[in-house]
Amino acid sequence: MEKSVKELAEFLHGTVENDNPELIVTGVAGLVEAGPQDISFAVPPHVEHCHLSKAGVMVLSPADPELDGRPVIRVENPRFAFAALLELFRPQEEVERVISNLAYVAPGARIGAKDCTIYPNVTVREDCVLGDRVILQAGAVIGGDGFGYITQNGKHSKVLQTGNVILHDDVEIGNNTCIDRATANSTIVGKGTKIDNLVHLGHNDILGENC
């Protein structure tokens, strides 16, 4: 993909300083990795070092200082702009929206048209509920038993875990993250919440929205 500085400014709804009409931008990269035909961004405390970057174009906020004569696109939120640029230059690969013939789906499971993405080696156990646009990264376990025991006379007896897990719309769960089913009722992850890799969410925990 090739874009001019002006085209990128229009795409980001930003304003241009030191425009170079001859510059053609072909990629987006971080400050260190960027080259003369890349666009990059900086936020504090990295703004003071962005003059060392070889990026052809820099995305900065209106409050940041002037740069060394190279093109700058000023936007209110440089991080948000950078995310938009990544999608523009490196769109996600389209994959066929199917259930793999290598997946095991229980006969009683109900599969809705929810636009969810479930990567390899994910386990979603009985009675758990996924909202729309949920993403489960590889190895996630949704609805494993909660860590519930009764100790009597020095011996541990397992408490039956009868609840479930509810993941609301637009939740993303990272690789090898485990969310335990509730002892009773539900372990809940609110709408829009994102959980990183290697996280354990215990039974009956409740997370709110957009955490």
The Cα–Cα gap between 66 and 74 comes to 10
Instruction: Name the catalytic one among 156, 168, 200, 203.
Output: 203
Q: Enumerate the β-bridge partners of residue 156.
A: 151
3-state secondary structure of 9: helix
How many beta carbons lie within 10 A of that of residue 194, not counting itself? Answer: 13
- Told to judge if 46 belongs to the known catalytic residues of this protein, a careful annotator would answer no
* Phi, psi torsion values for 48, nearest 5 degrees: -65, -15
What secondary structure does DSSP assign to 122-161, as a single string? -EE-TT-EE-TT-EE-TT-EEEEPP--EEEETTEEEEPP-
Six token digits for residue 170: 């637009």
The secondary structure element, H or E, covering residue 79 is: helix 78-89
**Which of the residues are catalytic?**
203
